[in-house]
Structure 1
């Protein structure tokens, strides 16, 4: 069929033609915006889930909803940057938000005060010297200049929240890949939002990340579990998966027969990214306008090859030989979360020897810890890929430390 008309979107974070199974989360976000706008409080949210389940898509959808409600939307994809870089990013985004909330010529005392606090927040010194926002607004004294990220971010959130409230608007900070924030950065965000909640200001932080985020947030601030909801974004139900397959095709006058739909649902297991990838490949090989089980069978090999060469491979290529061996040993034990001692046994090592490797894989976002002592892959079906990509387990020899002379 015509590739230009292909309605499936197997791209990182790309919104599919039809978003299904996420209405509950969209309603929760809409309620958050409306309650904050009315000066009431409401728990914000940090969405958790494996790779490919649609967290980024949903976060983007939240951004569109907030813009439609005339909120200022600040979007960040977190990465392992220093606190100085994090501060600079936040300051630049808040500067833009203030200018969009009101032109400088019409700033009230509250708006001007917020700008001064943002300037103060940005006026930090790193090894290269002073970085500034490049606008002629003097810094506030005694606010956002403590040198402590949590205290400074709290001051700036309150000031900008007050400016937004005066304009009868709101500010939504949407952060993807929250697990890559440092403990200091996450704690600062939680503390800052906590203060805006206490003051009933229309400013909130909504995040998305891997499953360990709920634990990390709780470690950062004990009250995080009361400040946020942690909805789990998972695979789609059978009916939702069918809808995600059927409806995009129907927009182009194409239908699945029952056999094709059952097989496609079985292959993808309801994972949104897998649905988009398989739907795309079926469309490319089929003649249509009815997609058959044979079409799905023929597309399956291309679908698996595409996943192996991109979605899965990009993660394996980042791993060292020992990290690769650790993941291969996990895959040998099966798709479920695996106990550290069992993985070590398969590798012929002691758990203590492999503790640093396991921690590195968690830090890289390749594994997460669903419970103490266990680790699981952050990507669905990664165990099967490891068995295909690394046919045999090869554990590098233990590196002996050289004796000091």
Structure 2
């Protein structure tokens, strides 16, 4: 069929033609904004889930909902940067939000106060001795100049929230890949949100990331579980998975046979990214205005090759030989979360020897810990890929240290 008309979007964070199976989360976000607008308090959200389940897409939907409600949106993709870089990123984004809320020529006392607090926030000493401020607003004194990220960000959120409240609007800060925030950064965000909840201000932080985020937030601040909901999104089930395939095709006047849909859902197990990829490859081989079972079967090889070459391979290529061996040993044990001692036994090593390797893989976002002592892949079906990509487990030798003379 015509590739230009292909309605499937297997791209990172790309919004699909049809958003299905996420009604609970979008409704929760609408309620959050509406309650904050009314001066009420409401728990915010940190969405968790594996790679490819649509967390970034869902944040994009939140952005559209907030924009329709006349809220200002700040979007940040977290990365492993120090607190100085984090401070600079937030300063730039929040400055833009303030100027959109209230242009400088129309600043009230609260608007100017928010600008001065932002200047102080940017000037606070960082790891490299400070940050250049890109505007000529003098910094506030005694606010956002403590040198403590949590205290400084709290002052910023309060000042910006008060400025937004005066304008009858709000600010939604959407942060993706939350697991890459440093503990100090996540702690600062939670602390700042806590204060805005106490002040009943229309400003909030909503995050998304891998499944360990709930644990990370709880470790950062003990009251995080009372400030946030931690909805977990997973593969699409039943009719939702079917609709994700059939409705985009229907937009282009194409139908899908029931047995074709059944096979596609079975192959992809309902994971949104996999559904989009299989749909895309099937569209490329199908003819006419109806997709049949044979089209799915024909497309399956190209679908698996595309996942191996891009979605999976890009993650394996980042791993060292020992990290690769660790993941291959996990894959040999199956798709369930695996106990550290069992993985070590497969590798014929002591668990203590492999602790640093396991920690590195978690830090890289390739593994997460669903419970103490266990680890699981952050990518669906990664165990099957490891068995294909690394047919034989090869554990690098450990060089023995020479005895001290």
TM-score range, shorter chain: over 0.9
- Correspondence for 1:31: 31
Per the alignment, in what secondary structure is the counterpart of residue 89 of structure 1?
helix
Q: Distance in 2 between matches of 1:366 and 1:130?
A: 34
Structure 1 unaligned spans of 5+: none
Q: Distance in 1 between matches of 2:315 and 2:119?
A: 39
Q: Distance in 2 between matches of 1:350 and 1:404?
A: 23
Determine if contact 1:92/1:133 at 8 Å carries over to the other structure.
Answer: no
Deviation at 1:400, TM superposition (A): 2.1
Asked if residue 13 in structure 1 is aligned to residue 13 in structure 2, the reply is yes
- Correspondence for 1:154: 154
Deviation at 1:238, TM superposition (A): 1.5
- Correspondence for 2:288: 288
Determine if contact 2:124/2:144 at 8 Å carries over to the other structure.
Answer: no
- Correspondence for 2:270: 270
Q: Distance in 2 between matches of 1:113 and 1:146?
A: 17
| Cα deviation 1:192-216 (Å, max 9, x = unaligned) | 0000000000000000000000000
| Cα deviation 1:225-247 (Å, max 9, x = unaligned) | 01000000110012100000000
RMSD: 0.9
- Correspondence for 2:207: 207
Q: Distance in 2 between matches of 1:259 and 1:344?
A: 43
Alignment of 1:4-403 (within 5 A): 4-126=4-126, 128-403=128-403
Deviation at 1:131, TM superposition (A): 2.1
Q: Distance in 1 between matches of 2:21 and 2:125?
A: 46
Per the alignment, in what secondary structure is the counterpart of residue 265 of structure 1?
helix
Determine if contact 1:7/1:249 at 8 Å carries over to the other structure.
Answer: yes
User: What is the TM-score normalised by the length of structure 1?
Assistant: 0.99
Q: Give the paired residue count.
A: 405
Q: Distance in 1 between matches of 2:213 and 2:253?
A: 42
Deviation at 1:269, TM superposition (A): 0.4
Determine if contact 1:328/1:386 at 8 Å carries over to the other structure.
Answer: yes
Cα distance change, pair 402–164 in 1 and its aligned pair in 2 (3 A): farther
User: What is the TM-score normalised by the length of structure 2?
Assistant: 0.99
Per the alignment, in what secondary structure is the counterpart of residue 95 of structure 1?
helix
Per the alignment, in what secondary structure is the counterpart of residue 207 of structure 2?
strand
| Cα deviation 1:258-290 (Å, max 9, x = unaligned) | 111111010010000000000000000111311
Q: Distance in 2 between matches of 1:9 and 1:212?
A: 27
Deviation at 1:105, TM superposition (A): 1.3
Structure 2 unaligned spans of 5+: none
Deviation at 1:401, TM superposition (A): 2.6
Q: Distance in 1 between matches of 2:221 and 2:396?
A: 40
Deviation at 1:403, TM superposition (A): 4.6
